[in-house]
Amino acid sequence: MSLSVLTPLFLLALFHFTLSSFLNNATVSAANLHHQPHRRYASHNYKDALTKSILYFEGQRSGKLPPNQRVTWRKDSGLSDGSAMHVDLVGGYYDAGDNVKFGFPMAFTTTMLSWSVIEFGGLMKSELQNAKEAIRWATDYLLKATVHPDTIYVQVGDANRDHACWERPEDMDTLRTVVKIDKNNPGTEVAAETAAALAAASLVFRRTDRTYSKLLATRAIRVFAFANKYRGVYSSTLRKWVCPFYCDFSGYEDELLWGAAWLHKATRNPMYLHYIQANGQTLGANEGDNTFGWDNKHVGARILLSKAFLVQKVQTLQDYKGHADSFICSLVPQSQYTPGGLLFKMADTNMQYVTSTSFLLVTYAKYLTSARKVVTCGGSIVTPKKLRMLAKQQVDYLLGDNPMKMSYMVGYGPRYPQRIHHRGSSLPSISSHPSKIQCTAGFSVMKSQSPNPNVLVGAVVGGPDRRDRFLDQRSDYFQSEPATYINAPLVGSLAYLAHSFGQL
């Protein structure tokens, strides 16, 4: 029986062996290095999950909604955004269950959606256009946010006042404060992440809309130059606005490396390769931080740059294969997983690390397969097949193969969270309740046990605790709040799995 048709319990037992017993069964033969599609049956309808994971982004849209909007309980909102600074900042995404537009996580979401399409868009079939529309909704906004040289508008909304209300985005009457970085108030991390997002998206549209692609790439170049020249942590100068919501804890070095890696990939300009070669170590290329998310990009940069060595044969980037391998080896210890087998990094929205890590696993497996390489951990060998198996286990847990027998994607499977921490989903829609719901009036709903009336299909919530427990309480935002940066990397993993099982 092939590993792909083993039961989830057996897979968990297999994974939780000691390091040596987990790895020693791997072989290095050329046959094993070429991935074969999974056979027989799939644990889940990955195609359905893919469709829903992309649909979710339509529920997070801000601005004037288009005629083909599929999440119909959402209506126009934030139509005067930017007017406080006489700039058009209408559009973009609300980050999670609130009504603020935070530029830092929005840019990371855009980068990861773009990377998902770059690696696996060719497998997405009918969902490719929907994925590209999700990316464009973000990039159209990021172009507005970067319209003025050496300035980036990084937030719309006063988060403290917004969180003091529980109201629909269509009703919001809190201050739409515009927060920016510039030469005098730098924000290297958010600027470099924005450059990465624009560069990655330029690759998505290169074949289908060359004019738009060129605009994105040109803007990415300008924004990265600004990020690199005027250095500073944005949560120092903008602390009262961005903390504790999206404070930068990892510094800006990871974003500079990440941004340069994407500019290198998008422009093929040797100056970015030289930048990486000259600054990689200073920017933390070999640091042991193995948590990849909206704040820390080191691992993503290592995986991305390893492709340049493995696939494009850029010999000067050989070290990044070793750095990427170190990340893979860090995933083996049993202590990193819940009893039910879920990768557990931290209590606050842990599922974001599950989806980002799963994406890196299937992506790195793709690069390794192309180069006929493996990972060596302590003298033992890990094949691309094992990386894919671990990614599948994590996605399957998310979709319902877990002790709670619950899908953590809203609208997928027979049992999923009913009381997610999300204002628009939890309050009656404009269609069913046309009159305004005032700022604090909605808290009676937030604190209630009633299911959300509007199903935010495709939303992935923060997930269970370290003991695999999930209470489905709206007030528990650590567990019950969805976010765009949870879904974005999952899109790529689901496209890969759906294709592998012949569903696409």
Angle at 83 between CA 81 and CA 88, to 5 degrees: 65
Secondary structure (H, E, C), 114-151: HHHHHHHHHHCCCHHHHHHHHHHHHHHHHHHHCCCCCE
**Residue 47 tokens, joined:** 């195609």
Catalytic residue among 35, 421, 422, 499: 421
Catalytic residue at 472?
A: yes
Residues 6+ apart with CB under 8 A from 140: 91
**Cβ neighbours, 10 Å, residue 255:** 32
The pairs formed by 82-85 with CB atoms below 8 angstroms and a separation of 24 or more are 82/144, 82/153, 82/156, 82/176, 82/178, 83/176, 84/176, 84/177, 84/178, 85/153, 85/178, 85/180
Tokens 């300035």 sit on residue: 151
How far, in Å, CA of 34 to CA of 26, rounded?
13
The phi, psi pair for 335, rounded to 5°, reads -65, -15
Tokens 């850029």 sit on residue: 314
Query: Could you tell me where the DSSP H helices lie in 373-419?
Result: 384-399
Tokens 């940066």 sit on residue: 485
Cα 280 from chain centre: 23
3-state SS assignment for residue 153? strand
Nearest Cα to Cα of residue 417 among 359, 379, 457: 457
Catalytic residue at 476?
A: no
**Residue 397 tokens, joined:** 């847990």
Catalytic residue at 481?
A: yes
Asked whether the bond before 482 is cis by omega within 30 degrees of 0, the reply is: no
How many residues does the structure list for the chain?
504
Residues 6+ apart with CB under 8 A from 364: 303, 306, 324, 328, 384, 387
Nearest Cα to Cα of residue 303 among 240, 239, 258: 258
Half-sphere CA count of 280, side-chain side, radius 13 A: 20
Tokens 């269509």 sit on residue: 170
Residues 478 and 349: beta-carbon distance below 8 Å: yes
Tokens 């919530």 sit on residue: 461
3-state SS assignment for residue 26? coil
Beta bridge partners of 63: 77
User: Known catalytic residues?
Assistant: 421, 472, 481
